[in-house]
Amino acid sequence: MTDADTSRFARLAHGVAQIEKHELKAVALAFLCNFVLLGCYYILRPLRDTMATLFGAGQLQNLFTLTFAATLVCAPIFSGLASRVKLTRFLPGVFWFWFFNVVGFYFLFSTAPQSRWVAGSYYVWFSVTNLFMISVFWSLMVDIFSSQQATRLFAVIAAGGSIGAIAGPVITRLLVSAVGLSGLLLIAAGGLLVVILLIHLLMREKAWLRREGDPVQQSTLDHGLGGDPFDGFSTVLKSAFMMNQAAFMLLMTWIATIAYFLQTDLIAKAFTDLAGRTQAIADIDLVVNICSALILTFGLSRFVQRCGVTWGLLLNPVLMVIAFLGVALSPSLLMIQAVQVVRRVSQYAIARPSREICFTVVSQENRYKAKNVIDTVVYRFGDVTAAWMQTGLKAAGFGMAGSISLGLLASGVWGTVALALGRRYETLRARESGNNPL
């Protein structure tokens, strides 16, 4: 590419996404990394959801309990390693661990494709590790970009993930019949090798920007974070801002779990074979990610800059109140699928990037430790509590009506928490010029 071509591309990037020339390489690497990462995620996710249909909605609360227990064990291990290992080694090391796990499950599925033990193990493993992988990626993003940059650039970076999440379901739908479930694992493993390479390039770009005197790069990655394995837990409990983040995540997860239970139950009844169920789930993923990519590419950054992060956080709960009212009026499979689309589009395209922006005003240690506790342990605690609440409602005879009522109530409380979180972020961002992050 000539200098003239590069200049034209830089002008185009600035016009479309307001990317400055010195930010272009970092944003391009982040976009591509998120693209490949979410592509792998959406190849592996339909397999996880397909494994759930082997157990049925009546057993999901047990899978969720096992997942939460495993997450509770893994979180302090993650934090302890981050405390002692240089981030330049730790960050790619996390993805190497995931790569070898995927290869291991390839051999397990090849030898015992119908085993409920393998299915349950995969369900729990993926439900734990996928949160860590995505959390690590966004921790690196909030370590590279400032709060001012994040309001312009995070939508673009998230769009890379949404486009990758379009590719994942397409690959799944096209190849699942030809290569089988185990073959998809090898494709995802190859993608993870690309992610590892891009993580190295992103870390190198951050170091280069710091050497060039970029004032945003006030932290380095050539050290461990110090402290102990439980620092993340203690910070969440002591910090009002982190507690607000945790409450936002908890309520968002409740909504997701309620919709997930309904989806799993109805898809299991509608499709008898595993390939059909996998394709049905992949189809929902495809619609969600096309809509998310369009919103992130052409609208979210301008919406956040014009209306503020608070509105980005608040919009998701408002939409979910409307969606659950729609289910109450028409409790059908089609409506549940529509709710899943609305929920996941608003979560991935609006709530997630807005929530990640909030972490740009905290310290480097909290970007990796406290953030990871919220992204994993609190997330899975929301899963397991929502799962058992729905089991209790079903046992009491409330069924779908109880789930819808719970969804409406949680959405209303979620809106209040989102408003408080957005206001607190704006206050902390105003103080950021003093270089005194939380």
Is residue 238, in this structure, part of any structural domain at all?
A: yes
- Euclidean distance between the first and the last CA atom of the chain, given in angstroms as a whole number: 43
Q: Hey, what are 111's tokens? A: 């030898």
pLDDT at 9: 42
Instruction: Report how far residue 269's alpha carbon sits from residue 277's, in angstroms, rounded to the nearest whole number.
Output: 10
Amino acid at 245: Q
pLDDT band for position 102 (50/70/90)? very high
Which candidate, 131, 95, 126, places its Cα nearest to that of 108? 126
Instruction: Report how far residue 96's alpha carbon sits from residue 299's, in angstroms, rounded to the nearest whole number.
Output: 35
Amino acid at 368: Y
Domain that holds residue 338: 17-219+229-434
Q: Hey, what are 90's tokens? A: 């730790």
Is residue 178, in this structure, part of any structural domain at all?
A: yes
pLDDT surpasses 90 at 263: no
The kind and range of the H/E element at 347 are none
Give the mean pLDDT of 280-295.
71
Q: Hey, what are 201's tokens? A: 């390039």
Of the candidate ranges 3-12, 14-23, 151-160, 245-254, the one whose mean pLDDT is the lowest: 3-12
pLDDT at 316: 86
Which candidate, 291, 333, 373, 341, places its Cα nearest to that of 77? 373
pLDDT surpasses 60 at 4: no
Is residue 3, in this structure, part of any structural domain at all?
A: no
**CATH number for 77:** 1.20.1250.20
pLDDT at 155: 84
pLDDT at 197: 97
User: Using CA of residue 57, residue 59, residue 62, residue 66, what is the dihedral sign?
Assistant: negative
Is residue 427, in this structure, part of any structural domain at all?
A: yes
Which candidate, 2, 33, 416, 437, places its Cα nearest to that of 201? 33
pLDDT surpasses 50 at 133: yes
Buried b (16+ CB within 10 A) or exposed e, 27-51: bbbbbbbbbbbbbbbbbbbbbbbbb
pLDDT surpasses 80 at 108: yes
For 235-253, how does the pLDDT look when each residue is reduced to its tens digit (9 = 90+)? 999 999 999 999 999 999 8
Instruction: Report how far residue 372's alpha carbon sits from residue 172's, in angstroms, rounded to the nearest whole number.
Output: 29
pLDDT at 345: 79
User: Using CA of residue 330, residue 332, residue 334, residue 337, what is the dihedral sign?
Assistant: positive
pLDDT at 386: 84
Instruction: Report how far residue 209's alpha carbon sits from residue 270's, in angstroms, rounded to the nearest whole number.
Output: 53
Give the mean pLDDT of 115-124.
84
pLDDT surpasses 70 at 435: no
Give the mean pLDDT of 378-395.
83
Give the mean pLDDT of 347-374.
88
pLDDT surpasses 70 at 57: no
For 135-174, how does the pLDDT look when each residue is reduced to its tens digit (9 = 90+)? 999 999 999 998 888 888 888 898 898 888 888 878 877 8
296, 162 Cβ separation under 8 angstroms? yes
18-27, 187-196, 346-355, 358-367 — most confident range: 187-196
Is residue 5, in this structure, part of any structural domain at all?
A: no
Q: How many folded domains does the chain comprise?
A: 1
Which candidate, 74, 437, 85, 376, places its Cα nearest to that of 227? 85
Residue at token pair 């934090």? 79
pLDDT averaged over every residue in the chain:
82
HEC profile of 300-344: HHHHHHHHCHHHHHHHHHHHHHHHHHHHHHCCCHHHHHHHHHHHH
Is residue 10, in this structure, part of any structural domain at all?
A: no
pLDDT at 249: 92
pLDDT at 58: 63
> Which is more confident, 238 or 19?
238
Q: At what angle do helices 147-211 and 87-111 cross, to 10 degrees?
A: 110
pLDDT surpasses 90 at 391: no
**Percent of the residues in the chain that have a pLDDT greater than 90, as a whole number:** 29
Is residue 136, in this structure, part of any structural domain at all?
A: yes
Is residue 117, in this structure, part of any structural domain at all?
A: yes
